[in-house]
Structure 1
């Protein structure tokens, strides 16, 4: 597939809207679902409650760089999409379905999982960035997934265990929220999805889930939709955290409070790291270099981690190859990183233990 170029996103969006209607329903997951795409083998795996239930052959980017790697939320689903000046139908390179993923906070119209008008390309490296599937199979997948499903794309091994970033995607949540301004409910956690209805200021709603900077709520008619957190009083609480938050976009706003409408106190380049103090599932509370308390959205930053690259890696008590092995980790495991000591990553294990792993087996 050809990915939508930024210059053409608005045009493509308008053309899509001219050929399709609003998706019938956005729904919370009765079960947890996750997607894995392995660019090395060109297979897509659909997980349900931690088990693989479907496996599909796919096509990915012509070069390694074209299809992004990482964990991204699926934010918009479209039946019978248009592409540029090609209407829905057998000649459309997107096939019968578009499942758009948000890469670095975009609106889900640039990268996606979709069908194809070239079935011979499946299993090869053929696209300009998206993930192609056979049209009958993408239709099946479309019906099995929901907005908010996390999509993990990588070039490592696949072992039937989903090892993407667990913080990404729709998470069940309860409680109530209230709108702080007139706003809209959307079919997915992005303005690249579709408006369901207008929601008036001071409207109390039941929260059913959280995905990035959007809260999933039950609307007055019983339908579920997503509302941008900046338009809500969410009531989410911060929990103490440690390590570092690392900026993942070219330029990120570091804000005075956990809201996208809050004042920007500084801007940070990709790769910048901040001491992590707390996390509420949508925002990191961090300390800046000059000691100020500030906030980074999950859309522009993630916890600083190392990923195991060896089949099995030894985790040691100190930064020495002679130190006792305190744990072992399989390839693909991610661990909170605290810094470097010589040739070792200083890490924090899930139980809070400080340990070390050599740079040749993790990055």
Structure 2
């Protein structure tokens, strides 16, 4: 695989993957295709913009003509498909865009790959389509239920997870019907650099620094498994290099936390940072820690969202056993790195919050 097409590469996980891949100094090229919707940000790729193997294309994965041109012009032999609408709350209030992007967009990509890689019924031997999905397709777990495995029946509970489940099924169908060389990964909740501040961890971080309420759904008892984003990128790399075609790999951090405990842990981490670095009080005067007050005083319980899944948990035994992959970061070490990144990249998240990155 020498010529990658990375869809959604200006988003959170996609951008981290682009950085990870290009750090490897591999031969070939990496082309990012991103529509730059609200969550796509060219600033996420600023550090690699001058890399000789990198090219950015602004465009939509539902644009069949554009996909055909890219496969031909760039001689694409590997697709890493991140592009997706992914925020559950937005899918509840506006599901149409999730169906268009996650289902129809994935279908256009599959068609383009098939057209480019299969001639007279014969597939190229050096190609792969990797589809990045989510643990949410499996539905919700009770407190004491066994974690999701690759054979857990699908049971999506939101328009977002239903659209991702549909895309997973399309990828599987193109492999079994046409022979398209595919792999799929279903990952747990990611966190780390470039995370758009509508999701739990970055929202709590920037809100705490600004002295704004920290909204927690219900009583904050919902449980999630957390994976540091760089570890997720390493897992995808392992699947691309050693994964079995047609198979699915669950990627998780084995780090289950209640949402409320996550928020409290972040508050405590920030308080320690303020105690160790007096300059933070001047930079973030509205944060309670700037005046010696507890940050968790900002926690506000809000009405739970409709159909809120109780618990997600990934059993990552297969990828550990077959591909030798294990996360390098515990939640404690990964969240320390994440907090430090947001403290040293204030201009990034302020631009995101103000909308300046879209001007």
Interval containing the TM-score (normalised by the shorter chain): under 0.3
TM-score (norm 1): 0.26
Whose strand fraction is larger, Structure 1's or Structure 2's? 1
Whose helix fraction is larger, Structure 1's or Structure 2's? 2
Greater relative CO, 1 or 2 (CA 8 Å, sep 6+): 2
TM-score (norm 2): 0.26
